Amino acid sequence: MSFDQDPPMPKDAPVAPKAPDDATCWLCGRTSSEINSALSGETEDEAKITREIAAIKESKENLATNSTKWTTEVPDSFKEFDLGFVLQNADQFKSMRFLNDLIGEARNTVRDLDEVSLSVRRGTPIRIGGTPVDESQRESIASRLNEFEKKTNRKLKREADLHDMEYQRLGYIARLTGLKLIDGIDYLGKAGSLYYELELDARERAKAAASKRKPMWQLRSVRFRDFPKEVWVCTVCERLLRDLRPAEAVQAAKPAVKA
């Protein structure tokens, strides 16, 4: 056996030719740029997230407006009451017209912000408004929570709260005890603002991820049976041709109905 010659190199897998910029689909006559431009609108996933983002922004704006308004509408006779006490004994404070809105906002934002805080600090998966958050965001979220706690001088939920009987009894209301009504409303506005900002960031990232899953429409060279030359066909037309079935084939596929 001779070793004078080098062994044959393995052949590379054939690479599909790239369509020239001016190549057009043999069926619809469009270039790949024209096709992608025509189909560049939002997918169903993107459109859904866009609507959610708009709703979150509206909620954030409403809270900013309402929290300012609520502090001016607190009756003088209630100003010295603790917000936690008010929420625990709501029946005694029905004369405050905004009480139900206040309760709803506290439940929807402070409670959820508490759960985000616990997940971030325990190292468990983070979800904000139902949206999973990538692990890479844990440190930055923790930093924002720490900054919020420092500015408000109040702690958010920790592991120790799970073993605290008072917290177990009050839930999110425990976060609002020790605050006079006006101060409590101000805290609620800040906590809610932070929660909505975190929720918006999570949705924006989810939308960017959905956008990356959007298909890119291309032209590829194909050869038809009994046709001597290869032609460029776009993936849109190719998909349409693959999905379409003759009416007689559909009819034949239907099961016979017995009388």
Structural domain spans, the chain = 32-39+217-253, 44-212
Q: What are phi and psi of 118, to 5 degrees?
A: -65, -45
Strand partners, 131: 128
Distance CA 211, CA 50 (A): 12
Q: Which pLDDT tens digits describe the chain residue by residue (259 residues)? A: 333 444 444 444 444 567 777 788 877 878 877 777 766 667 788 889 999 999 999 999 999 999 999 999 999 999 999 999 999 999 999 999 999 999 999 888 999 999 999 999 999 999 999 899 999 999 999 999 999 999 999 999 988 888 888 888 888 888 889 999 999 999 999 999 999 999 999 999 999 888 777 666 777 777 777 777 888 888 778 778 777 655 554 444 444 444 3
Q: DSSP 3-state assignment of 164?
A: coil
Distance CA 52, CA 54 (A): 5
Q: DSSP 3-state assignment of 132?
A: strand
* Alpha helix stretches (DSSP H) within 136-180: 138-152, 165-170
Q: What are phi and psi of 138, to 5 degrees?
A: -60, -45
Q: Which residues contact 202 (CB under 8 A, 6 or more apart)?
A: 128, 129, 131, 133
Torsional class of 232: left (φ above 0), alpha (ψ -120 to 50), beta (otherwise): beta
At 228, list the tokens: 């001597």
